Structure 1
Amino acid sequence: MLSGLERPNGEITGRTRLLGILAHPTEHVKAPPEINRIARLRGTDAVMVPLNVAPADLESLVGGLRVLKSFDGAIVTVPHKQAIIRLCDVVSPQARAVGAANVLRRDHDGRIIADQLDGIGFVEGLRHAGIEVVGKSVYIAGAGGAANAIAFALAEAGVRRLTLANRTQGKIEALREKLIAAYGNIDVGLGSGNPTDHDLIVNGTTLGMNVSDPLPLDTHLLKADMVVAEVIMEPEITPLLDAARKIGCRIHLGRHMLEHQLQLMANFLGL
């Protein structure tokens, strides 16, 4: 492979390897510039571009990626993290347990290999900010790919109690069963929009990406001693974080989750 440092002016050539980020829409994605920066620093001739694919077209896209010999892998984000699992040939134990993947790699034989790094990145982002989760009580809104990954990572990190809340009750019931199966001694409850009596509040939904979205929980019940964390990166200050900040809560931005998994993603993608 031609080194990125050997590419004059960083130009794309016939040897440049292709990476993607699978999303719909793609306007909110933040990873491509950072992954491209890492590729340059590592001297790798590769470039990441956004790939806007609707859910109905995801299967056909993955079929095309299998035979695209210049394609090395992709980050997977909303709304594809759960649907991508059934389309991959090899799924890591973590991604299988969570039921969602956020990164995939094309092997030399065309196999698509998936893994899950969201939860690890989220917990590491908290720790880097000086927010320790061991022994804490955590409320998580959502039951999609990110929320599942974060719940598993928090359980692994040693939280005392998890409360799961979602508009679709069946999804959090299924997540609760998976968590208990994996961590038999963890206290996992099913909640509502009420985040009372928790140390850490996590929005693991997409509510807040659009101005018309309802709030993911009742912000009137937040207390100043709570930490309120987001997974949404755009906008950086969501309505939830804005409300929490006004109450006096410590807030934790969505971009920290990505920042602390970028190197792991780059390693997985072979950069």
Structure 2
Amino acid sequence: MTGRPAGTPITGTTRLYAVLGDPIAQVQAPTLMNPVFARLQIDAVVVPVHARPQNLEHVVRGLQRVENLDGMFITVPHKVAVRRLADRCGPTVDIVGSANVLRREADGSWLAENFDGSGFVSGLVGAGHDPRGRRAALVGAGGAGSAIAAALLAAGVDRLAVYDCDTAKLGALVARLEARWPGRVCALDEPRLRDVDIAVNATPLGMHGGDPFPFPLDSLPPGSVVADIVMKPRETRLLRAAAALGHPVHHGIHMLEGQLNSYRVFFDLH
């Protein structure tokens, strides 16, 4: 299995976790989680599951009936859609409108939660980029972007600007955030990020070599941090170009690393 240390047996007692996405080749959860399971002597394994959007409900409902499957990690593009398939939602899901984990409860129901935002902020702080009191801008109002926007506001950013080409989605997110953090968030009508300390790509742009930049770099002030949530490749075109211009860069893998402890608590892993 991807990321599972050699010699770690998978037996009839092994508990299963799935990572749902489309595409799936870029996911890093198996690489990070399986060694953690082995180190803690937890008899469990994370496996990637490729689910097309049109098949998502069938896959989620089918896995819900797998008795030795304890949960799922959700990635692009299913984080918003999977929320509607959950039986119950944690408080963060209700605020941001998306989920990145499902836990199978004792009665077989799904409990949804979202740790993308807290993981992203934890990674930022760990890298020395505490967002408290700073100005941030984010491109991408989808599942991960919504969670990161809320977490940045909760972490104390002074001002947050958000852009998405889907104006309806953008407007709905800003309205939810404004209701909870009035006066600190605004929508952008173009992806030009000015007067910010932290600029975040929360879109899938960068997963493929020919992808355009999610936002131009020429409008960023010198020294602003450029962060990307794309995990593979580690060095996206955006981060390479930003580093060449002298900007501190923050890699996507830090968001997942920042979620590991939250996952252990949520799934009650000892």
Give, as a single letter, the amino acid of the residue that structure 2 aligns with 1:31.
A
Are the aligned partners of 1:136 and 1:160 in contact in 2 as well (CA < 8 Å)? yes
Which of 18, 28, 31 does residue 30 from structure 1 map onto? 28
Partner of 2:207: 209
For residue 223 of structure 1, report the CA deviation from its aligned partner.
3.1
- For the residues of structure 2 that align with 1:257 and 1:41, how far apart are their CA atoms? 21
- For the residues of structure 1 that align with 2:94 and 2:255, how far apart are their CA atoms? 20
Give, as a single letter, the amino acid of the residue that structure 1 aligns with 2:66.
L
Partner of 2:249: 251
Are the aligned partners of 1:223 and 1:248 in contact in 2 as well (CA < 8 Å)? no
Length-normalised TM-score, structure 2: 0.94
Length-normalised TM-score, structure 1: 0.94
Q: Which runs of 4+ in 1 moved over 6 A?
A: none
The RMSD of aligned alpha carbons is: 1.4
Partner of 2:91: 93
SS in 2 for 1:57: helix
- For the residues of structure 2 that align with 1:36 and 1:235, how far apart are their CA atoms? 20
Which of 107, 110, 118 does residue 109 from structure 1 map onto? 107
Gaps of 5+ in 1: 1-7
Partner of 2:3: none
1:84-134 Cα deviation digits (max 9, x unpaired):
000010110101211111111111211011100000000011111111111
For residue 265 of structure 1, report the CA deviation from its aligned partner.
1.3
- For the residues of structure 2 that align with 1:185 and 1:234, how far apart are their CA atoms? 35
Partner of 1:48: 46
Distance 1:13 1:239, change over 3 A: same
Partner of 1:195: 193
Gaps of 5+ in 2: 1-5
Partner of 2:169: 171
Which of 134, 137, 161 does residue 136 from structure 1 map onto? 134
Partner of 1:5: none
Partner of 2:9: 11
For residue 182 of structure 1, report the CA deviation from its aligned partner.
1.2
Are the aligned partners of 1:200 and 1:229 in contact in 2 as well (CA < 8 Å)? yes
For residue 237 of structure 1, report the CA deviation from its aligned partner.
1.1
Identity score, percent: 42
Distance 1:187 1:22, change over 3 A: closer
